[in-house]
Amino acid sequence: MCFSPILLQPSPSLGYEMSEISNNGTKTLAIEAAACEGAVRWRKGRAMNLSDMLSYADIGQLSKIAGAYRCECNGNSKNELIQSILSQVNRHDVFENQISSMKLEDLRFLNSLLFESRQSYSLEDLVARVQQSRFGEEKKEAADEPVKKPKKSKKKAALPPSPREIIVQFKHQGWLFNGFSGPGRYLFQIPSDLKTRFRETLRRRFAEQLQYTDEPHMYRDEQGLIQEDIKQLLHYVYHNEVQLITDGSMYKRSLQQMLDRMGVREELPSKGAWRFGYGRHFNHYPDRFSLLYDYCCSAKYISEQPDGWLVVEDAGKERLEKPAEADEQELVYRYWLKLYKGPVANLLSLVHWIHALAPDWVSVASLREVLVPFIKTYYYDDANAILEARVLKMMVHLGLLRIGEHPEHGTVVRMTKAGNAVIDRMARGKDSAGLALH
């Protein structure tokens, strides 16, 4: 078995050499290939721990990682470098300090990598994620400052690091490693054990800022209701003629009769009121019903016919005749993630943080303080509205969260048993093959 690293020199036409011009000159992040068994693991999409990846790194990268952790060892010995790096990284205080020193935009970038089941990322994907982690704070701060008369200065204003410089920084800290997967395909991985440590370290830091409470006197729990209301929607469409207007939405009379059948009461949008939301008919349907309707269309339970009628398809008839499948709640949850992930790019990580931080009753106000900095405004939805209306409220409707009012701490939430089961199952990657979305 070969353990020596192989350094590839790809053609510049392939675009794999990453160069960035800065005040200090040209910085180049060389594309290195994983070696022997390491390359095979990447090709099969298997996760590797830090010790595995260090074994396949060349001595140059090991030296840079050792420098970032201030390791004192023989820089010419690969074995000593690896042992010294592992010793430092495994120290609790060193790892905590690394996290504490990170800027908010770097934490956002890291957060985007922590909860996905995928193991590998292309360079273009990482660059895009770094760019998405910048919410324009620099521009906002500049706009808030009073206008001052410019002064002549020979010094140029410091520019924020480029996305590729951030990737270089993560590489030098041993948080990202790159190798190949197939001919001419270069991918990056984050060590699996570091992912776990990052999640646990950040969970502890976030939990310290939260306000946990005792159980409120009254709370709402919608477990099982969304499955029942899917059946109610299908039952109404099957037994009634539902005509659609020219934009594809239902007439208000039919819509109101459907809403009256639902287990969760929702009001029709006010006539002429301006609405912003997600989904095919969000401007006509309330949020929960809009999600149910879109899910039924996606699952091919119902379809909007060209002649202007809404009908139940064969799959919908079959669903009417049988009890809800055990995984239906998870299917609707997955569809919600798919539907909302465009406007809320880090929706998956937000759900996982709520899952990790709300095993007991916790105030929404304190959750807001912790999570809002990681949420990017989307058109007319600011970060607070996204957290409360698009994430927390919809998690309640999906049966993942309970919600109540505490006399002292206001609105509080807690994960449900079903919610824990769904998110834990997805995190383990079980049953994913049969949960494809249309």
Does the residue 209 lie in any domain?
A: no
Q: Do 233 and 339 fall into the same domain?
A: no
Residue 21 pLDDT greater than 60, yes or no: no
Q: Do 307 and 424 fall into the same domain?
A: no
Question: Which tokens in the block code for residue 239?
Answer: 């037994």
Mean pLDDT for the stretch of residues 363-369: 98
Does the residue 17 lie in any domain?
A: yes
Does the residue 44 lie in any domain?
A: yes
Q: Do 191 and 311 fall into the same domain?
A: no
Render 343-411 in DSSP notation, one character per residue: TSTTHHHHHHHHHHH-SS-EEHHHHHHHHGGG---BTTB-HHHIIIIIIIHHHHHTTSEEEEEETTTEE
pLDDT in tens, 373-407: 999 998 888 999 999 999 999 999 999 999 999 99
Does the residue 158 lie in any domain?
A: no
CA–CA distance, 94 with 88 (Å, rounded to integer): 7
CA–CA distance, 227 with 263 (Å, rounded to integer): 10
Q: What is the pLDDT of residue 261?
A: 96
Q: Which residue has the higher pLDDT, 407 or 144?
A: 407
Residue 45 pLDDT grade (very low, low, confident, very high; cuts 50, 70, 90): low
Length reported for the chain? 438
Residue 19 pLDDT greater than 70, yes or no: no
| Percentage of residues in the chain having pLDDT higher than 70 | 79
Q: Which residue has the higher pLDDT, 364 or 77?
A: 364
Residue 58 pLDDT greater than 70, yes or no: yes
Q: Structural domain of residue 305, as residue ranges?
A: 225-321
**Residue 113 DSSP one-character state:** T
Q: Do 344 and 314 fall into the same domain?
A: no
Does the residue 19 lie in any domain?
A: yes
Q: Do 66 and 182 fall into the same domain?
A: yes
Does the residue 334 lie in any domain?
A: yes
Residue 36 pLDDT greater than 70, yes or no: no
Global pTM value = 0.83
**Residue 49 DSSP one-character state:** -
Mean pLDDT for the stretch of residues 339-364: 95
Residue 416 pLDDT greater than 70, yes or no: yes
Q: Which range is least confidently modeled, 28-32, 134-138, 190-194, 222-226?
A: 28-32
Name the range with the highest mean pLDDT among 151-165, 168-182, 209-223, 280-294.
209-223
Does the residue 154 lie in any domain?
A: no
User: Which run of H or of E encompasses 426?
Assistant: helix 417-428
Look at phi and psi of residue 410 and say left if phi exceeds 0, alpha if psi is from -120 to 50, else beta.
Answer: left
Does the residue 361 lie in any domain?
A: yes
What's the whole-number average pLDDT of the chain? Answer: 83
Q: How many domains does the chain have?
A: 3
Q: Do 50 and 167 fall into the same domain?
A: yes
Q: Do 332 and 257 fall into the same domain?
A: no
